[in-house]
Structure 1
């Protein structure tokens, strides 16, 4: 037989246990909710991307923040200088090309990160490109930490020069190490280069056809007629036919083969093949341009027996690059000297 007092005690115990269990559930639920809120808050702060800030070297920019700042810090003061103008305005001065991080704490404890990128002056780079390639349409623009080159150029050499120039202005991000040996001692050299995207295209054809003419001149016959041939520079222009040789000076600065004289005296040794020849009258004679090309001159000399065309090879080269061809009776043959 169970007494009434014992039943009441059991009921009160179960009621107390149930209440304690409910309190524990509420506490655990609150703790789980707090943990979830903390995790989502941390993820939200972590997911906030750093704000990019571009500053030209030796120049400044103002950064405006929404909430009043309580504390600010910059990771590398050698790259950028930080000045606090007001609680919501920051002045950043670029000192050296590179990247650094700006951290701002507001009055509510929230942290904001800024990626400060100090680069060369893009306007100055554009002026340098104009000086290197004055006749080409090349533009330089900044995209985050990368310099983007676009436009048109005449040849590949111009593009290579502009790309190297842009790498000097870009933020150094790629580091390469080269090893060289001097007197048996290894020496490592590190080189850094910035990010440059080259979108420059060549406006003209990349390949050109050169018509080469290899000729032999009969100097004996030309000497009998008092003729001398002078070729000007690399272009092959300035093929001069000089009849006689007055005294005077040869202007080699502006035109090779230009003669000027006021007296009708012969010269000896000034121009090969013209010693002892005296002109009838003082004169000045020089030819520097042939509309029909140098081939027409060679053809005319060949018809008179003064020259003989030995070979007419055609050479295909890339625009702006050097082309080579072999002249002579000996041909280089590659041989294997060892295995």
Structure 2
């Protein structure tokens, strides 16, 4: 039973192994058949093979080979070209040109005229980029700026405003006006003129008075004795009796001579006879006294001539500088004590105050936008007058004789003006008498004498106003011929000073 069972299992094992082997054989044959069939199919129909990978697209321009070097991507290293709208220029190259390109043909246009020349024409204000390739495909970049033509606008503005420093420039597509003008009206009018040439006008004109300007006032206070001038004017032309022919030869501010002429008579028959007058000539050493009030003579020269005749006295000649809009003052004189009585309870107190007298000047300048000077001047001359003095508690207090003016006007830079007419008329009565006899009623008039002296003086103030500016650079300091306290020069041959050791031996 056991043996049969074992033999039965052996047959089943052999039959199973044979079946597995046949399966493997059939599978191998099938695989070989499939492989051979696939190879034969590829040989028969090549269109059934797998498609190749897609090619990389070519980004180079059509009908042109790729450039040898890449085109510039920045205009930082590009050359700069500037031309006016409506103008042209020729650009020369060393290599033969193959092609050109410009970014905006509305601003500028470019075309080759020869193999090595490009004509660039500006059309409208703006900026464009011009690219040029040579035959080796080497590109070159140019930044082209087209500016507006401002020559016509600048010429018309200069003609309309010749005294105004107006500068006209082109800024991209606009006209730029810059500078400092005298008034706001000038700035607006210049902008209106510029708008006729361009729709875009940038008005940067400033107006008003520049900062830092000052006014220099040169003043002369002079006192003229008009009575003396009048006397000279009356007595000057009194050469004597008889017919006189006067001739003068002054040179330049010199004296002249009035020579006595001859008497000439003609009879009825036509005979002419000349008879000398035998009168001496009259020499006038200073003819400028004749022209004291003439406006065409320099006032300074007249004053110098009058000083020689003691007809004019210069009281003060100050030169004052004031900042624009600030007041400046000048005083040349003194102060006198003026007692003030203050009654109290049982006693009288006297306090002293001081009053100024002399030559005083106050002026306030204002520089106007058009360059003129608006000036307010207040000159004053005062002096002690003991004729009208008062006596207070035993103190003699003199009065003040004052001549003052306050004027406000406008003048140009460098012009002069004169303030005159400040008159001082004085009458001095001097009485002399014999002591005792002069006090007798009625009969005392025979022992008295009276003398009335009249004086007439005029104060003249001559001023010249000038606009000045502070210096930008300080003047250099004077140099010493040798260094200050040069040890080698001043201490030569002297023993050196050795400091004393501290007390205690330096311990």
Q: TM-score, normalised by structure 1?
A: 0.34
Asked which structure has the greater RCO (Cα within 8 Å, sep 6+), the reply is: 1
- When Rg is computed on C-alpha atoms for both structures, the one with the higher figure is 2
User: Which structure carries more strand by proportion?
Assistant: 2
